[in-house]
Amino acid sequence: MDNAADKGDLDAVKYLHGNRTEGCTYRAMEMAVRNAHLDVVKFPFFNRTEGDMSSTMNFAVSQGHLEIVKFFHEMNTEEFTNNAMDNAAKYGRLDIIKFLRENRTQGCTSNAFNWAADISIGII
């Protein structure tokens, strides 16, 4: 199932979920996130229990996948922490910084300001 998620093969993920007993690892959702397969991210979110949602959500932030971040936000997941904004700043994900600032209340640490300053210096 991990490999199917990595490739974005939702039909295979669904088939394996329904017809096999091995399940998957936490990496299935992370691989789907890495490759921006939102439809595949949604399936284990609703149907599986493996994985650490906080890590997965922060991975989506660091990879710059705004639509996946929005999905986690819409699902009202509790996994958003100040790490989300910190990671968005660290990796220069300005669209995600804006989204988090407008839609979440967790804020950030001083690290986010340091990383944002580093990015600004690089732009100038």
Tokens found for residue 107: 């804020």
pLDDT value for 95:
94
Sign of CA dihedral 78, 41, 59, 92: negative
Residue in 25, 111, 106, 97 with CA at minimum distance from that of residue 61: 97
Based on the domain organization, do 112 and 56 belong to the same domain? yes
Phi, psi of 37 (to 5 degrees): -95, 80
pLDDT value for 119:
64
The answer to whether residue 90 is domain-embedded is yes
Which stretches of the chain drop beneath a pLDDT of 50?
A: 121-124
Based on the domain organization, do 109 and 70 belong to the same domain? yes
pLDDT value for 123:
44
Based on the domain organization, do 73 and 86 belong to the same domain? yes
Domain tally, the chain: 2
pLDDT value for 48:
78
Based on the domain organization, do 65 and 41 belong to the same domain? no
